[in-house]
Amino acid sequence: MDSKKVKSYFFIVLVIILLILVIFIFERFLTVFLWAAVFAVFVHPVYQLIINRWKKTLVSTFLKHLIAGTLSIVFVLIIFIPMSYLVYQLVIELKDFFNWFQEFLKSNSTTFLDNLNIKISDWIYSVSSLKVKIDIQTQIINLLESQIKNLTSFITSTLSKTVNFITYLFFTIITLYFYLTDGDVLLDYFKKAIPIDSSVLSIFFSKLTVILKNIIKGYLLVALYQAVVSFIIFSLFKTPNPVLFSFLIFFASFIPMIGATGVWLPVAIIVGLTESWLKAIYIFLLCGIFISTFDNLLRPLILSGNINLHPLLLFFAIIGGIMAFGFNGLILGPLLLALLYSSLEIFQSM
Per-residue tens of pLDDT for the chain, all 350 residues: 567 777 777 888 888 888 888 888 888 888 888 888 878 877 888 888 887 776 655 556 777 778 888 888 888 787 777 777 776 776 776 666 666 666 655 565 555 455 555 555 555 555 554 444 455 556 556 666 676 666 666 667 666 777 777 788 888 888 888 888 887 777 777 777 777 777 777 777 777 777 777 777 777 778 888 888 988 998 888 887 788 888 888 888 877 667 788 888 888 888 888 788 888 888 889 888 888 877 767 666 665 555 566 667 777 887 788 788 877 777 778 778 877 877 777 777 66
pLDDT score of 155 = 64
Q: Are 234 and 310 in contact (CB under 8 A)?
A: no
Query: Could you tell me if residue 303 is left (phi over 0), alpha (psi between -120 and 50 degrees) or otherwise beta?
Result: alpha
- Up-side HSE of residue 204: CA atoms within 13 Å toward CB? 18
Separation in Å, CA 127 to CA 121, 173, 200, 281: 10, 62, 80, 58
pLDDT score of 25 = 86
pLDDT score of 145 = 64
- In terms of pTM, does the model score above 0.85? no
Task: Please provide residue 55's backbone torsions phi and psi, each rounded to the nearest 5 degrees.
Answer: -60, -35
pLDDT score of 159 = 67
Q: Where are the domains of the chain?
A: 30-98+111-193, 195-350
pLDDT score of 143 = 62
